[in-house]
Structure 1
């Protein structure tokens, strides 16, 4: 059965698909994000926050709300662009790379700081400002990576990214129940593991504060060791 027919049938059955008028390719992820921002701005005026999450990311809304409640009033007015912030990243000038961005499309030697596209959160006010900046921004060819583009629009709109260490944006974080209970997002998780981890993390009893802190430290060390041994790229 052609993919378009399957998609149409699923949309009719569930009523929860939003489609854009472009090919669903890696190079068009920026267009997909623009569609997401525009749709949310138009149809979700009551939403205080929007989370953009990749499909290979285990996302924990309860951990996000816990972090927001500890760090700020989650319903206060203000700009929030939250995730794992990448600092001083240089454009990829390799023509053979899927991240290739020639100097003609983006002349500066570094990007503005931006949140990893694996998962980030925007408050309503930040979403409106970034969406409007994106609408006014000329689209280069090729397009910048989608998370870089959001960072560029955020800079143009005067919205600064906020780093949260509970977002993972690099290698796999080895599973630990208490660690995953505290993390907001974990990258590189297969669908089958997501179901297993989600059930285990949300089963009683909850981890104590001490177990969470210890488990987070162990997970981070194991992830860094994996990077040092060449098992993963970046953290």
Structure 2
């Protein structure tokens, strides 16, 4: 999903590459918004509207950031174990953030003044790095978004989706196989089981994807042990990072 902006108009070569990619792969959607970080909410609204209109046959939609390694087979395995993939019902699945307070710092990256959002905490919402919506949840959230007044500045896109989900009566569901914050150190068995891993550069995505999918599947015990080790290493990495920052 891309928008419009100077980065396209000022680089004819890039614009040509985008057209060629769309023709060859059919995997690009361009919306009518300026493609900037502050407009990520508009980008997501465009994506939801497009999926609502053009994907009536899809039972689920996954929204994934471009710095996330996404594992569809692990997601399908999780859905098959946890529910009937074709049953009706709302699903808003990802890494759920609880009781997050708005950023009131004018210099903050996600600054949101009280005039734009008065409450002291956001409703629970799924991390925007990657989340999954069932068809019914997509319809309800998209319709709630289209009827919602857009404040200035806009809330972060994942927060806005969470606000629309609450308005639509759709509750977020937490899944530990989604990573939504700190990077998860590489482990082949761990990455086989994870649905999404944040902060993965493109070159490493190619390497990890090949290693995970060409190698033989890990055993259940190997996956459990690797997931636990990856979690501990991620927590230690976060703690050390905070200490170094102090």
In the alignment, structure 1 residue 75 sits paired with structure 2 residue 113: no
Contact 1:171 1:232 in 2 (8 A): no
Question: Residues 176 and 213 of structure 1: is their aligned pair in 2 closer, same or farther, counting only changes over 3 Å?
Answer: same
**How do 1:54-93 residues align onto structure 2 when only pairs under 5 Å count?**
54-93=65-104
Question: Residues 99 and 232 of structure 1: is their aligned pair in 2 closer, same or farther, counting only changes over 3 Å?
Answer: farther
In the alignment, which residue of structure 1 is the partner of 2:61? 50
Per the TM alignment, residue 4 of structure 1 is displaced from its structure 2 partner at its CA by 4.0
In the alignment, structure 1 residue 154 sits paired with structure 2 residue 165: yes
Per the TM alignment, residue 110 of structure 1 is displaced from its structure 2 partner at its CA by 0.2
Contact 1:182 1:212 in 2 (8 A): yes
Question: Residues 203 and 231 of structure 1: is their aligned pair in 2 closer, same or farther, counting only changes over 3 Å?
Answer: farther
In the alignment, which residue of structure 1 is the partner of 2:190? 179
Per the TM alignment, residue 231 of structure 1 is displaced from its structure 2 partner at its CA by 5.9
Spell out, residue by residue over 1:167-201, the C-alpha distance to the aligned partner (whole angstroms, 9 max, x if none).
00011100000000000000000000001100111
- Contiguous gaps of at least 5 residues in structure 2: 1-10
In the alignment, which residue of structure 1 is the partner of 2:8? none
1:103 is paired with a residue of what secondary structure?
Answer: coil
**How do 1:1-235 residues align onto structure 2 when only pairs under 5 Å count?**
1-2=11-12, 3-230=14-241
Q: How many residue pairs end up in the alignment?
A: 233
Per the TM alignment, residue 18 of structure 1 is displaced from its structure 2 partner at its CA by 1.0
- TM (norm. structure 1) is 0.95
1:51 is paired with a residue of what secondary structure?
Answer: strand
Matches of 1:194 and 1:119, distance apart in 2: 15
Per the TM alignment, residue 222 of structure 1 is displaced from its structure 2 partner at its CA by 0.3
- TM (norm. structure 2) is 0.91
- Contiguous gaps of at least 5 residues in structure 1: none
2:95 is paired with a residue of what secondary structure?
Answer: strand
Over aligned residues, Cα RMSD in angstroms? 1.5
Which deviates further from its counterpart, 103-112 or 223-232? Answer: 223-232
Contact 1:166 1:183 in 2 (8 A): yes
Give the 4+ runs in structure 1 shifted more than 6 A.
none
Question: Residues 79 and 142 of structure 1: is their aligned pair in 2 closer, same or farther, counting only changes over 3 Å?
Answer: same
Question: Residues 18 and 204 of structure 1: is their aligned pair in 2 closer, same or farther, counting only changes over 3 Å?
Answer: same
Per the TM alignment, residue 98 of structure 1 is displaced from its structure 2 partner at its CA by 1.8
